Structure 1
Amino acid sequence: MSSLALLVAVLLVVVAFMFSAGLIYFAYRHPAWRSPLTIGLLGLTLLATVVVPVVVR
């Protein structure tokens, strides 16, 4: 793997972590909706369903 591909992979992981943490924090601030962990995992799942087909292509 080239250095650019590794850098993009690391940045993608960081963005996914920040996205999930943001969703967990938002769900924590509004506890009547759902469990924060459920919202965070749902967000990561949705992000993966969008990103994986693009990366595989």
Structure 2
Amino acid sequence: MIKLAFVFLIIALIAGVLGLTGIAGAAVDIAMFLFIAALVLFAVLLVLGLTVFKKVT
């Protein structure tokens, strides 16, 4: 998921340099969404790993 965020960030940078502001804005929004989703998923799994899954094993 982080790889996709970086791919969309690179697409946004290239589109911004070429003057395609609409595409650049959309790519930045997608990259930010994917990055935040990955951070939230990481935080949830970290908390679950430290609490719930430790009791199961």
TM-score by length of 1: 0.52
Bigger relative contact order (CA 8 A; separation at least 6): 2
Report sequence identity in percent. 6
AA partner of residue 8 (structure 1): D
- State the structure with more CA Rg: 2
AA partner of residue 30 (structure 1): T
Aligned residues: 34
Gaps in structure 1 of 5+ consecutive residues: 36-57
C-alpha RMSD over aligned residues: 2.4
Large movers: runs of 4+ above 4 Å:
none
Paired position in structure 2 for 1:18:
39
Matches within 5 A, 1:31-50: 31=52
TM-score by length of 2: 0.52
